[in-house]
Amino acid sequence: MIQQDNRITEYTYPIEMNRRQLLEWADSSSCTDEESILQFYVSGDADYIDFIEHPVPIVSEQLKEIFDIYQAGLSWKLVVFADMQRMQQTRYWLTQPPSLRCLSPLSEYHRDGTLRKIVLDAHALENHKIFRVQHADQHIIVDLDVAECMLKFNLTGMKLHKVETESPFI
């Protein structure tokens, strides 16, 4: 599971981002080319990290290239960070990987119904290398070979957490 590294506190992110509006924009499939690009103004000397988790997952150009190698057909929306002080634009990408019903009955929940421990049903994963867990869409899960590839590059701003998998007995 990919998560943003909370040890990095000074990172560039869109300041006035409304999660609901951003999700509506991401879900809209009838966008023209101009509408399929979202630009945000950023400022400051903060770091450009490769994975921004909130309010929605946004990945860098380099991480997008890795995802494209392992999972063809992911839909992407271009997000441009424009820094007027430095006179530069940086491309990021918003994606919503497929959401799979893949939670094992061994998953554990808090009293309020939120997930405490994710355990995946290996049979339900099929051939997906990058996906979200239905009812826990904020989490992006990557297969082990994708995670290993990500670790080979000097990507910043993310942590990888191992998620347990339950294999059905055959």
Residues 52/64, Cβ–Cβ less than 8 Å? no
What was the pLDDT predicted at 88? 87
131 bridge partner residues: 141
Structure confidence at residue 16 (pLDDT): 65
pTM: 0.84
Q: Are 157 and 47 in contact (CB under 8 A)?
A: yes
pLDDT at position 29: 54
Q: Which residues of the chain have pLDDT under 50?
A: 30-34, 170
Angle, CA 42 vertex, CA 37 and CA 45 arms, to 5°? 140
